[in-house]
Structure 1
Amino acid sequence: MSGDLAAGARAALAGRLAGAGVLEAGWRGAFEAVARHLFLPPVYWEFVDGSAVRRDRGTDPQEWLAGAYRNTAAITQWDDGDEAGGQQDFTSSLSMPTMVARMLADLAVEDGHRVREVGTGPGFNAALLAHRLGAEKVVSVEIDEAVAGLARKNLAAAGLDGVQVVTGDGADPALGPSGPADRLIATCSTLLSDVPLGWVEQSAPGGVIVAPAATLFGGGATARLQVAADGRCANGRFTGAADFMRMRQQRYQAPPVDAYLPGQWPGDAKASLTGLDPEDIGSSWLAQFAVGAALPDVYYRRAPYGDTVTWWFFDTAVTSWATVDSVPGRGEFEVRQSGPRRLWEEIRTAHDTWDKAGRPGYERFGLTVSTAGTRTVWLDHPDHPWDPTTP
């Protein structure tokens, strides 16, 4: 791509983001200056309408370049680099430009700020930060050594090799240079119940942490937290929906169903009926977030069988399970529950509490993270923990 064409593509992308109201004026220069295509490998997968579409510079250079400047995510690694893995899960990417712009706006950087980034990926986000603040002000941490190496090469190609890319666990407060960061941004998702305490310890009093957070149950949002003057906690609200890859050290490997149900189904499960269709929860990212925030140790599997979809719910302690059969057109749905907990009743209570509260959006939820080891989700005010009671 010639210099003029590249500049035009960057300017056009920045213009579209500005026109959509997601690109703050202070970031427009960075988006116009940093060439996104320099951070893409010869083959990547453009995430379009829920599908990964292969873009190959060798066979279709025009589409390869066009994809670099569309408002789509670009997958740059599958299965932690295991080329024999069959492309089951994508594990490194360039995020959708809209999400990048929104999170950078949440970060509210000022001249002179030192920024720590967790999750370098291909390096594009670090490049934007470096263009805005100066490469010497940016430290980026990447857990994958191969990805970190490519990011360093990409940053050098963009003329920003002064960015320090550190290989290691971004939750470790001792990793990287000494001194607290004025701003910390994560480009990988943390569990809402396990936001790294090290992020608060790595941040200066009054500093800002911007990070996507999700639940085992599903649903995710961007948290914007401000570190207290004494440095002992960080507190703030969520700013909108977010869907990012989970931090590698927080990936959950669910036990097999047989660990919950040895022998024939339904075992000792108690039968009942419910008027809440689990599909109504599953179809709403926000509803999943509200339920998952209330029940951080509960997850589900969805199993279609013809017209029926059986929802399986489990606890991470491997003590309890439940199923609900969703059948189109029905007003009541068959429930089975086993174990000391009645998981479906807990889920229904959390959903009903959210519903009766007016189905609050992400912006009404907040999070407090304390270096003492607690993470508290709240609704409307830190004094009001989000803790729907179980009947």
Structure 2
Amino acid sequence: MTPATTTTPEWLAEAVASGRLDAGWVQVFAALPRSLFLPDVIWPKDPDSGQNVRVDRRRDPSGWAAWAEQDVPIVTQWDDQPDPAAAGQTATSSSSQPSLVAGMLADLDVRPGHRVLDLGVGTGWTTALLAARVAAGTVVGIEYDPAVAEAARARITAVGLVADVIVGDGAAGWPDGAPYDRVQCTYAVRRIPTAWVEQTRPGGVILAPWETTLTHQGALVRLTVQEDGIASGPFLWPVRFMGSRPERTPQIDRNDYLPPGGGWPPGTVESATRLRPADLWATPYGPAWWMIGLLVPDMVYATSSRKDGTVLGWLFSLRCRSWAIAFFDDAPEAEVYQGGPRRLWDEVEAAHRWWTEQGRPGHEDFGLTVGPDGERVWLRSPDRPLPATLAG
């Protein structure tokens, strides 16, 4: 491969200077710029506005090239549509922020000669980077969307690399290529599939974004597979990725929980809370809301606002028709109403209290163990699982 660029991007130079990536990656990234793996129409996230902007290479080639080189995530598909003409409701495929890609490759610690399973091929860029780093025929990529897989396969071939791109559900892995030294997932999951552990050799590493039903702000977990087939390891840092398509949370209809005509249903309990959105979900990538998702399972939330500035925080259970709503205004205490078999706001209060008592631990203080009995999240040590009484 002939390097396509001669200038090392700042995000890559920093990763190498810090020691997270070895210098060999510079040549790989230089030979495989992200622009080789992007479609003509892209939706990069503008860091100033926070919005995705539509850029068409056929109409604005210089603008397209400039966005392709920026350290921003780029949406390449909306609402599962092969070639959408405009931005949709839900981003369903993308090219990750380059610094994030570099950080994950550093944590994956892939070496020449490793066999690698890359889950969530997307545009094919990361799969190609891995293929260039290891050796021909030692990287298997899995992509759920057939059209996305076909395009990625063509791009990888066009740059002269060899990687098997399989269409299928990444949760099943690909046993024909096992055992793997490294398994990397580039979409968020809510559980680590048993197949990934079974297909990874002892001493091998599984790296995946892991989230709860409560929030898409997840955390990257790095598991090492042990001789007994159990995988365990720490959460590293907060990340946000598109979720696994088979694990998508169904849309919540408030009318299924509350009377559509207004008023509180029988059995509604009224209380108050001193917690504020800033203590919970309002801090980007903050650990509190992610941690509450660990302790209060099968729950989703939504927010809305009134004209007077009052913020409404809604909670809904996915396992029953329990609900809660808090009204956040300028008062020191927010009114709370909740109903159903679960007292969702009480569970949130208890989880936040436990987190505070533990010294407000961050993502990196938690870890995950995956074995025959399922998954277990722990705090600071595998022998300190999260309290089951709060997780109920």
**Residue deviations 1:49-92 (CA, integer Å, cap 9, x gap):** 32102222112211211111211111111111163786111111
| Conserved? CA contact 2:310–2:328, under 8 Å | yes
Q: What corresponds to 2:244 in structure 1?
A: 247
Aligned to 1:275: 274
- Any gaps of 5 or more consecutive residues in structure 1? none
Listed one character per residue, the Cα deviations across residues 248-285 of structure 1 (whole Å, up to 9, x for unaligned) are 01101033112222453321211111111234201133
Q: Secondary structure at the match of 1:52?
A: coil
Cα distance in 2 for partners of 1:7, 1:74 equals 20
Q: Report deviation, 1:9.
A: 4.8
Q: Determine which of 25, 40, 43 is the counterpart of 1:42.
A: 40
Partner Cα distance (2:311, 2:149) in 1:
42
State the AA in 1 paired with 2:29: F
Instruction: Give the Cα–Cα distance (whole angstroms) in 1 for the partners of residues 336 and 69 of structure 2.
Output: 48
TM-score normalised per structure 2: 0.92
Please give the alpha-carbon distance, in whole angstroms, between the structure 2 residues aligned to 1:208 and 1:277.
39
Output the CA distance in 1 between the equivalents of 2:72 and 2:277: 30
CA distance in 2, matches of 1:73, 1:22: 21
C-alpha separation in 2, matches of 1:12 and 1:354: 37
CA contact (8 A) 2:54 2:86 kept: no
CA distance 1:60–1:178, change in 2 (3 Å): closer
Give the whole-Å Cα distance in 1 for the aligned partners of 2:263 and 2:241: 35
| Residue pair 1:190, 1:250 contacting (<8 A) in 2 also | yes
Distance 1:182 1:209 in 2: 9
Partner of 2:374: 374
Q: What is the CA–CA distance in structure 2 between the aligned matches of 1:373 and 1:141, rounded to whole Å?
A: 26
Alignment of 1:6-155 (within 5 A): 6-9=4-7, 14-15=12-13, 17-18=15-16, 23-49=21-47, 50-81=50-81, 83=84, 87-155=88-156
Distance 1:259 1:84, change over 3 A: farther
Superposed counterparts of 1:211-230, under 5 Å: 211-218=208-215, 219-230=217-228
1:8, 1:59 → 2: CA distance?
26
1:208 aligns with 2:205: yes
**Superposition TM-score, scaled by structure 1 size:** 0.92
Once structures 1 and 2 are overlaid, which stretch shifts more, 334-343 or 350-359? 350-359
User: For residues 89-123 of structure 1, what are the alpha-carbon distances to aligned partners after superposition, in whole Å with 9 as ceiling and x for unaligned?
Assistant: 11111111111111111111222210001000000
Aligned residue pair count = 381
Give, in whole Å, the separation in 1 of the partners of 2:113 and 2:228: 22
Distance (Å, rounded) in 2 between the aligned partners of 1:64 and 1:70: 10
When residues 386 and 78 of structure 1 are mapped into structure 2, their CA distance, relative to the original with a 3 A threshold, is same
Instruction: Supply the distance in 2 between the matched residues of 1:271 and 1:11 (Cα, whole angstroms).
Output: 55
Taking a change above 3 Å as real, the CA distance of residues 215 and 239 of structure 1, as seen in their structure-2 partners, is same
1:176 and 1:56 map into 2 onto residues whose CA distance is 39
1:166 maps onto 2:166 in alignment: yes
Structure 1 CA distance for aligned equivalents of residues 389 and 125 of structure 2: 44
Aligned counterparts, 1:227-242, within 5 A: 227-231=225-229, 233-242=230-239
Where does residue 292 of structure 2 map in the other structure?
Answer: 291
Larger mean CA deviation between 221-230 and 259-268 belongs to 259-268
- Distance change in 2, residues 1:13/1:283 (3 Å): closer
